[in-house]
Structure 1
Amino acid sequence: MRQRSPRSAVRLLPRSDLLMLSAHHLVAIVGPTASGKTTVAIAAAQRLNYSVEVVSADSRQVRREMRIGTAAPSEAEMAAVPHHLVSIVAPDAPYAVVDWLSDTRTALDSIWARGGLPLLVGGTGQYVWALLDGWMVPAVEPDLALRATFEAFATERGADALHARLAALDPESAARIDARNIRRVVRALEVVTLTGAPVPPLEPRDPGFTWRAVGLRWERAALHARADARVREMFAAGLVEETRTLVAHHGRAFPALSSIGYREALGMVDGILSEEEAIRQTQIATHRLIRMQATWFRLDDPRIDWVPGDDLEAAVAAVERAARAPVP
């Protein structure tokens, strides 16, 4: 279940005429988890005098059968505004940023072909900037056996030893990647091993369209309170049963099951955690995620128009401005 912003709902003013948009323009609505991005997107879509469709930039909401734990848009929200890239792949299917970029480009092209305005909505910073900065992501298929080998090495020898292996093969990538980020180190080693070449740096390039970004800013304590309340709502809405069903249909050996909320709910399924402890651990993990997301969406980033997350009217007005004014 998704919380609504505490201030007054958007006033349904007469729709203003938008200035002529470029043929290929989008507005990104970004911010940390529980900041109210979907609420703002729905309200803005209802206000704009334009055909608006939402493209999700959430690495977990792409998964089917995982609606509760990922806080996916509700049926009512998806009925109010067309959504793309929500519940499109199986819980245990490989799906990397290069796949998301391909699917997103297809969705954007279809929206623009219909004369519409895409709203890119999500908190997965890697997805958002990969698209907006035009990253050239290596199209290397995942090799799960190879990844398992590197992960086992890290478990046995430690993160620094794994990072040293990357440094020996691709010093530039090693310099860019924190040794503590084992997942990124493993992916870099996977790419280098399978291609025999260094991982190309993810340098900004022209993405081929214009864009503006609106960020939802919250005081940290208030955001934590919203996130904590949402975690309780997820467990009350049936997160444990959703997790039990995932295990019954797909087993336990897929990465999405170890993500925030599902990992803790699985502890309840196994009788290891009480509900209160599972909720507490999920809240702590969510706070950690919020801190990580702040490194992707920085308050001093001049590309983002930050507005108070608890002022829905101001947020919708910012989206309206962003729709009118493409980046040169």
Structure 2
Amino acid sequence: MKNMDKKDLIVIVGPTAVGKTATSISLAKKVNGEIISGDSMQVYKGMDIGTAKVLPHEQDGIPHHLINIKNPEDSFSVQEFQRLATSCIQEIHNRGKVPIIVGGTGLYVSAVIYGYEFSEVKEDTSFRSRMETFVEKHGAHELHAMLKENDRKSYEAIHPNNVRRVIRALEVYERTGIPFSEQGTVKKESPYNVTLIGLTMERQKLYDRIDRRVDVMLDQGLIDEVKGLYKQGIKDCQSVLAIGYKELYDYLEGHASLEEAIVQLKQNSRRYAKRQLTWFRNKMDITWFDVTDHVEQKVQEIHEFVEGKLY
């Protein structure tokens, strides 16, 4: 039963390229909603094509939030996303509208839905200095390997070249004994009346859509977008370690041919979609809608499902 003391929150999740953007805009029109991006990379300015950012002319009059709020050299954390998204939710409700979080970054979305609490671990300058010296002597990959034993999730999630992030993960474990990837704790009850929708699709069709999306991104000028960031000297930053950027950086730096980089980009995108689905299915209580076929009918079913929850 709906708790009338809590505010409504709609959440749409799913793997990359499954159709979240179109579905969310359609739903926002139906319920008088505004959209909050739940994507960790769409916050960055000048990274439009590679993040499949919904552009102003594509938003169809629906306000979108937490897009283009950071410079590419800035860091962005789940804690900051949680704070900003929570503020957006309140502001949207104050306008008499319905907030809709849409995205594929599971940890970020979960942090808002379930009210994760994060312990503040202060920086240890002595430890950081030792790690920086280690990198100078042994290299970034050896530092990254140190994560493997005590924090396998961070080892898999953080790129070896993101030295600052690797050191932070090692530092947190050193100071607390708790892996960096497990620093968030979940409140037992969500602060919102959450309607949580997941979009899924037959796997081969999804993979085909991902491959086509990469081709479209290349046609739209992805290589020039990445070259622009590279020429600005933006390297080893959280933003350009994202899929779609790190592969083309390898090409620009002569570590791969363009053809090899594109193959890798598509493969990494498909693997990411698989990881997204695994996260959502294991971590979140979702009502799933299969949009492999009859998409318009499925979107209508989503409209009816949501309206049943809201009213």
Q: What range is the shorter-chain TM-score in?
A: 0.7 to 0.9
Match of 2:8 among 15, 25, 28: 25
Match of 2:219 among 236, 239, 248: 236
User: Does residue 224 of structure 1 match 2:207?
Assistant: yes
Name the Cα RMSD after superposition. Answer: 3.3
8 Å contact from structure 1 (residues 45, 52) kept in 2: yes
Whole-angstrom CA distance in 2 between matches of 1:24 and 1:213: 14
The letter of the residue matching 1:315 is: V
Cα shift at 1:205:
3.1
Q: Aligned residue for 1:318? A: 302
Q: Aligned residue for 1:280? A: 263
Q: Aligned residue for 2:78? A: 97
Aligned residues: 294
Match of 1:309 among 281, 288, 291: 291
The 3 A distance-change label for structure 1 pair 187 and 219 is: farther
8 Å contact from structure 1 (residues 30, 123) kept in 2: yes
8 Å contact from structure 1 (residues 27, 319) kept in 2: no
Three-state SS of the structure 2 residue aligned to 1:303 is coil
> TM-score when scaled to structure 2?
0.82
Match of 1:155 among 141, 144, 156: 141
Q: Deviations over 1:3-38 (max 9, x none)?
A: xxxxxxxxxxxxxxxx99876111111100000000
Whole-angstrom CA distance in 2 between matches of 1:302 and 1:252: 34
Match of 2:171 among 180, 184, 190: 190
Three-state SS of the structure 1 residue aligned to 2:289 is strand
Structure 1, unmatched stretches of 5+, are 1-18, 167-173
Cα shift at 1:259:
1.6
Three-state SS of the structure 2 residue aligned to 1:181 is helix
8 Å contact from structure 1 (residues 53, 117) kept in 2: yes
8 Å contact from structure 2 (residues 143, 166) kept in 1: no
Cα shift at 1:51:
2.2
User: Does residue 206 of structure 1 match 2:189?
Assistant: yes
8 Å contact from structure 1 (residues 61, 67) kept in 2: yes
Q: For 1:133-172, what aligned pairs fall within 5 Å after superposition?
A: 133-140=114-121, 146=128, 149=131, 152=135, 155-156=141-142, 159=145, 161-164=146-149, 166=150
> TM-score when scaled to structure 1?
0.78
Whole-angstrom CA distance in 1 between matches of 2:43 and 2:168: 20
Cα shift at 1:117:
0.5
Whole-angstrom CA distance in 2 between matches of 1:316 and 1:35: 16
Q: Deviations over 1:134-187 (max 9, x none)?
A: 11123457889939938947732773x4444x4xxxxxxx5xx54743639755
Identical columns (%): 31
Cα shift at 1:295:
1.5
8 Å contact from structure 2 (residues 14, 198) kept in 1: yes
The letter of the residue matching 1:181 is: E
The letter of the residue matching 1:115 is: G
Q: Aligned residue for 1:13? A: none
Cα shift at 1:206:
2.5
Moved more, 22-31 or 134-143: 134-143
Q: Deviations over 1:115-142 (max 9, x none)?
A: 1111110001111111112111234578
Q: Aligned residue for 1:181? A: 156
Q: Aligned residue for 1:78? A: 59
Cα shift at 1:290:
1.0
The 3 A distance-change label for structure 1 pair 305 and 319 is: farther
Cα shift at 1:94:
1.4
Whole-angstrom CA distance in 2 between matches of 1:185 and 1:239: 28
Q: For 1:26-65, what aligned pairs fall within 5 Å after superposition?
A: 26-46=9-29, 48=30, 50-65=31-46
Q: Aligned residue for 1:127? A: 108
The letter of the residue matching 2:296 is: L
The 3 A distance-change label for structure 1 pair 201 and 108 is: closer
Q: Aligned residue for 2:162? A: none
